[in-house]
Amino acid sequence: MSRNNNNFSFEQESDIDDIDLLADDIPASSNQHQASSNGAIAGQNSNPFKDPSIEDQYIYPDVELVDLQSRIDTSSAPLNSNGNPFADSNQVFDDDNDILNERVADNRRDLPDFNSPNESKFDIKMYWSKLLGKPYSKVRDNSSPRIIHLNDPVTNSHFRYMDNHISTTKYNLATFVPKFLFEQFSKYANLFFLFTSIIQQIPGVTPTNRYTTIGTLLVVLTVSAIKEIMEDLKRNSADKELNSSKTMVLDSKAQDFVPRSWLNLKVGEIVKVSNGEPFPADLLLLSSSEPEALCYIETANLDGETNLKIKQGKSQTSHLTSPRQLCNLQGKVLSENPNSSLYTYEGTITFDNQEVALSPDQMLLRGANLKNTNWVVGLVVFTGHETKLMRNATAAPIKRTNVERIINLQILALFGILITLSLISSLGNIIKLQLDGNELGYLHLENTNKVGLFFKNILTFWILFSNLVPISLFVSVELIKYYQAFMIASDLDIYDEEKDTPTVCRTSSLVEELGQIEYIFSDKTGTLTRNIMEYKASSIAGRCYIKDIPEDRKAIVGDDGIEIGFHNFEEMYQDLNSDELGNIINEFFTLLATCHTVIPEVQDDGTIKYQAASPDEGALVQGASDVGYRFTVRKPNSVVFENTHLGRKYTYELLDVLEFNSTRKRMSGIFKCPDGRIRLYSKGADTVIFERLSTSGNHFVEATTRHLEDFAAEGLRTLCIATRVISEEEYLEWKPIHDKASTTLVDRQQKMDDAAELIEKDLFLLGATAIEDKLQDGVPDTISSLQEAGIKIWILTGDRQETAINIGMSCRLLSEDMNLLVINEDSKEETRDNMLSKLTALHENQVSAEDMRSLALVIDGKSLGYALDPDLEDYFLEIGVMCRAVVCCRVSPLQKALVVKMVKRRKKALLLAIGDGANDVSMIQAAHVGIGISGMEGMQAARSADFSISQFKFLKKLLIVHGAWSYQRISEAILYSFYKNIALYMIQFWYAFSNAYSGQTVVESWTLTLYNVFYTVAPPIVIGIFDQFVSARYLDRYPRLYRVCQKGTFFNVTIFWGWVINGFYHSAVIYLCSIFIYRYGNVLSGGQVADHWTFGTAVFTSCTLTALGKAALVTNLWTKFTLLAIPGSFGFWLLFFPFHATVGPLVNVSQEYRGIIPSVYGSLTFWAMTLVVPIMCLLRDVLWKYYRRMYHPETYHFVQEIQKYNIQDHKPRVTHFQKAIRKVRQVHRMRKQRGFAFSQADEGQDKLVRLYDTTKKRDINGVLW
C-alpha cells in the first residue's frame, strides 16, 4: 500500500484492524492538510477523487474519465475570501468541461456492463450478502469518482450503493456460531474439556461415565450463549430504534416531502431536515431557510467541538427551495469515494449546463445536528456504513479480561502438570506389571502390548485427572458476572433520577476489569462539561458585579486599595446613573451587545434565541441581554440593540470586523455609533489586550488583573474588554491598508494581522468578563479521587488548546502547581525536536518522583498526528507516561482510537475510554473497557460501549467501589474453584500409588461429578456475589485502596500457584491421614472390614469439609447467603448422600453405593476422620493468615480494622487544609499564567455575518420577503 500525506502512517492506520464492514478501507485523504472551517479544499493526490485505500465503486469501461486535478488544483489556485480555491463561486470549469460532458453524456455509459465477461464472474460475496439481506457494494475501480444522478433512482440503483442501515451488534445470524465458538474455544480450558469429552467416547478408556464432561461442557456453552444473545439483542434493539427514525424525503410523484425511515434512505435522494434534527446520512447542502443557503450545525457528536459551525450551500443551488424546483433538478454529482476524513470533501455537481465545485462547506455529516436554522435541503451522498461517521467507527471487538488471560496461561501450565501426572501414572503401571506381574495373574494381562497399554493409560489418567481444571468454574463465573452486572444496574447511587437513567452493563464479562484500570481516556465535551456556557460575572471599572453574591464575598476594599468581592445587579443599576462610572458600564455592555458575530432569531413567543458560532459569544450576548442590553437585529452593515432601561433602540453601523484567530487571540469591530463617532471595540485574552492599552488614562488595570486572578482561580473563562475612539481621518487612512491586505494573494493572513495592529492600539480598558463552561456535577471531585486512586487521565478532545487547558484546570485534572509540557508544532521534524528536548531535560535533571507528579502534557492534533508515527510514538509515550495528566487537543475520532491502541499495545496496563458522542465510539471500542455517557450528544456512544452511565461522577463509584469489589470477588471465586478441585482430584493421583496405577477411582464417578455441581458450587458463587473486603463507605473514603487492585494483589501468577500448591498440600494431608486411619480396615463394629467405597466416601467427606472450611477462612463478609453456602453445603451432602446411595442403585446408577449407608454413618472412625482431618489441613492456613495480618499486612487490612472497630480518622481536617493550600497555589499560578477560551472559527466570520438580514424572512416556499 502506498503512503500518502497523512499525519499518521498507514502502518498505524492498519492498527484499526477492525474497521466496520470494510476493514481494508482506511481512507487516504490527507489529514495533514485538513480543510479549515471556511471550506478550503486541501490535498496533494494526483487525482482528487483517487483514494488508493478505498475500493467501493464500479469500473466504467466505456468512459475515459478526465483527470480532474487539473481543474481542482488547490496547490496553485488562489483562495477567495471564503477559502475556496475557485476564486469566483460561479466559475465553471474550462474547456475540459466540454470534453467530460461529451464523454459522460449518456447515462447508460456510466453504468457497469453486466454482460461483459468481467461482470458475469461468480461473486460469492454478493450471493452471501443477498442471503443475509445485507447491502453489497461491489469492489471495482478505486480511481473513479462516485457518480450520483439527481432525481434518477433507477440509474442510481444499478450502482448498488450501500443502504442506510447501521449495526453495532457483535453478531448476526451468520456469524454468531463461528464467532461465539471462536471466543469460547479461545479459552484453553474449553478446548481441554472438548478434547477430554472426545477421549471419553473411546471404549475401554474412560474410568468414569462417558457423558459427565461433555454434558457439563454443553451446559457451560449454553449458559454463555444465552448471555451473549441477550446482550447482543439489546444492541440490536437500539440499532433498530435508530434505523427506524423518520426523515422527510422528496417524492417526485407527490411533488412534496414525505416521511420515510432512515433505513430506507438511498444515495441520490433529496431530504429535508428541520431545526434540531440530526442528519440521517452524509448530505450535500443545496439550500436552506437562511439567505445564501447558510445554516448552523452542531458537530459535537463527531469531533467533540461545542461551538456551532456555519455551512453554506453554493449560490447556484441556493434558490432550490420548493419541492417542485427540486423535482425538476436534473444532473449528476461526481463525488470522492467514502473515507473517514471529517474535514475534507471534494466533488462537483453538474446541472443546467454548469459544473460547480463542491467543498467541505457543503458537506453535512451524519452525526451532526441542524441548529438555529429552520430547515435545510440536502442530497444524499453517503449512507450507512459508508458515512464518514461510521468510517470512523470500529466493529464491536471481542474483549477478554486480564484475569482470563492469566487463567489461560496458567491452564496451559496445569495441562503440563496433568500430562506429567498421567505419564508418571502410566509409567508406574507398566513398571508395576513388569516387576509384579506374577502376582497380578488374575488380571490376565500376560499378552498385553505394553506400548499400547502405556498410551491407553495416558488417556485414562488424562480423564481421571482432567478435573484439576474445574469445568464448573466457567458457569459459576458467568453467573457471578451476570449478577454483579445486575447489582451495578440496581445501585441507586449511580442512578440518574432526573433522566430516569440507570447504569447499564452491556458486557457483563468485563466487570472485574473495572477494578484494575490504570489509564482513563476521556472526551471533554458532554463528558466532563455540559455543553452549557453561563455568563457569571463582570469586572467593570475595577468593580465586580454578579447576580447573586456568594456567601462572605461582598465587596470590600483590601489593604492595597483594590476592591475585592462582588456587587449585585441592583448596585450596578444604581451605578449606571452616575456620570463617569455609568458611562463605562454603558460602554461595556454596549460592546458586548454589538461586537460579535451572533445572529438573533425571534421565536414565536417573541423571545430571541441567539445563533452563535462560539458558545462563549452566545453567553456574552445573552449576558448583556439579561442586564438590559438586548441585541435584536443584524443587517449586512449594521446591528441594532435595545436598551430596556431607557426603552430605546440604537443602531450601530458595522464598518469592519477584525476576526479572531489563534495567533491574535482577540476580535475587534469598528462601528460608527449613533453619536457620529467611530469606535473600535475589542475583546480578547488579557495578555494581548494589556499589551495594546494606552499608557495613560487606564486606571483599572491593577484591579482588573486582581479580578482576573480570582475568576481564573474559580475555573472561569475570562476575556478583557477594551475600546477606543478613532478619528475619521485615522480611519480613512487605515481603511485602504486593510482592504489591500484582505485581497492580496500572498501571505494574506499575516498582512491582515499587521493591518489590525495599526488600529488596535491605545485602547481604554473597560473591564473583563467571566464565563463558566459548566461542568457535569461532581467532575472535580471525581477526577481528584480517580487520580488519588492511581489512575492517570488523558483527555482527548476536538476543542482548542486554550479551551481544553481551562477545562482541565476547572475540573482539577490540571492542578495549580503543575508544569505544562506543550507540544504544538507544524512539522514532523519540529515535533521530534520538541519531544527529544523535553526527554533530555527530564532525564538530565533527574526529576524527582514528586516533581514527576506535577507534570502534564498538552499536545495538539497536528503534532499528535506526527507523534503517532512509528518512529516517534516511543518518545510520545515515554513523555505521556511520565506525566500525571495528558491533554490531546483538536484530535479526530480516528486519532483517539490510535492513541488508545498505542498505549494498549505498548503498556501492560488496563485502559478505560469514556465518551458520549459518536466521535468517541472508536476510542471506546479500542480500550479494554468502554464506557458511554447517555448525554446531550446522543446515544451512539452508550449503545456501543461495554457500560453506560448518565453522568461522569458515577465513574467514581463504578470503578473504586464496584470495580474493586468485582475484581476481588471474581479473583477469590476463581482461585477457590481451582483450589477445591485440585484438593479432591489430586487425591486420585496419590491413590494411584496404592492401586497399582490401575486408574481405579477413589470416589464413585457420579459423586465426583456432583462435587462441582452441588456440594461445593455455592461457596464460590456466594463469595463472588456478596463478599466485600472493604465496605463501599471506606472504599469511597480511601480511594488509594484501589491501588491494591491495580497491583493485582488478589489475583496474579504468584497468588494462583500459591492456591494450587495449597490444594496439593491439602490433598496429600487428606490422603495420608485417611490411609493411616483406614490402614487395617477393621473399622466397623463387629470386626467387619469396610470396603473400598466406604473408604472413598470418608475421603470425599473430609475433602468436602476441608474445602468448605477454606471458603469460610477467605470470606470477609458473612451474610445469610454465606451461611447457606458454606455450612449449608456440608449439611446438604450429609443429607443427600443417603438418598443418593439408596435411590441410585435402584435406578441402575451408582451401583457401588448399594448397602453402604450403615458402614459409613454407623462408623465412629468416619465421624472422627471427618472432624480431625479438616482441622489438620486448615491449621496451616489459619497460622499463615495470622502471620500475614500481624507482620506483613496489606493496606486494606488496616482499613478493615478501622471499619471493624469504627476508628475515627482526621481526614476531613486534612482535606480542608489541603483545599486552603490549593487555593493559595492556584492564585499564585494564575498570576504567572492565565488561560482564556474564545472558541470561534478562525476566519470567514466577517463575510458570513454580512450575508444576514434578520429583518427578512422566508415564506413557506422559501421565498425571501
Report, as residue numbers or ranges, the catalytic residues: 523
Record the cell numbers describing residue 807, joined without a space.
477545562
Q: In what helix (H) or strand (E) does residue 185 lie, and over which residues does it extend?
A: helix 176-185
Query: HEC string of 830-861?
Result: HHHHHHHHHHHHHHHCCCCHHHHCCEEEEEEH
SS3 372: coil
Rounded-to-integer distance, Cα 467 and Cα 1007, Å: 13
Identify which of 770, 757, 684 has the alpha carbon closest to the alpha carbon of residue 722: 684
In what side-by-side order are the strands of the sheet with 517-522?
A: 504-505, 947-949, 929-933, 910-915, 517-522, 792-796, 885-889, 855-860, 819-823
Rounded-to-integer distance, Cα 916 and Cα 567, Å: 38
971 contacts 404 by C-beta, under 8 angstroms: no
| Number of CB atoms found within 10 A of residue 1113's CB | 11
Residues in contact with 255: Cβ distance below 8 Å, sequence separation at least 6, in sequence order: 323, 324, 327
Record the cell numbers describing residue 485, joined without a space.
452486572
Identify which of 74, 100, 104 has the alpha carbon closest to the alpha carbon of residue 87: 74
Determine the Cα angle at 695 with ends 691 and 697, to 5°. Answer: 120
- Say how many residues make up the chain: 1265
Record the cell numbers describing residue 394, joined without a space.
470500529
Q: What are the C-alpha distances in Å from 999 to residues 426, 992, 1003, 1144?
A: 9, 7, 12, 23
Instruction: Give alpha helix (H) positions in 520-642.
Output: 569-575, 580-594, 615-626
Which residues on neighbouring strands pair with residue 938, listed in sequence order?
Answer: 935
Q: In what helix (H) or strand (E) does residue 127 lie, and over which residues does it extend?
A: helix 124-132
Rounded-to-integer distance, Cα 618 and Cα 597, Å: 9
Record the cell numbers describing residue 481, joined without a space.
458476572
Give the DSSP per-residue string, 277-312. Answer: PBPSSEEEEEEESSGGGEEEEE-HHHH---S-EEEE
900 contacts 923 by C-beta, under 8 angstroms: yes
Record the cell numbers describing residue 615, joined without a space.
458558545
Rounded-to-integer distance, Cα 531 and Cα 524, Å: 10
Rounded-to-integer distance, Cα 585 and Cα 593, Å: 12
Place of cell 449613533: 674
Q: For the chain, first and last CA: distance in Å?
A: 56
DSSP, res 763 = B
189 contacts 469 by C-beta, under 8 angstroms: yes
Residues in contact with 702: Cβ distance below 8 Å, sequence separation at least 6, in sequence order: 562
Phi first, then psi: give them for residue 321, nearest 5 degrees. Answer: -110, -25
Residues in contact with 336: Cβ distance below 8 Å, sequence separation at least 6, in sequence order: 29, 48, 49, 51, 145, 146, 345, 346, 347
Identify which of 264, 263, 260, 265 has the alpha carbon closest to the alpha carbon of residue 246: 260
Record the cell numbers describing residue 647, joined without a space.
426603552
Query: HEC string of 532-567?
Result: EEEEEEEEECCEEEECCCCCCCECEECCCCCEECEE
Burial class (CB in 10 A: 0-12, 13-18, 19+), 1215: exposed
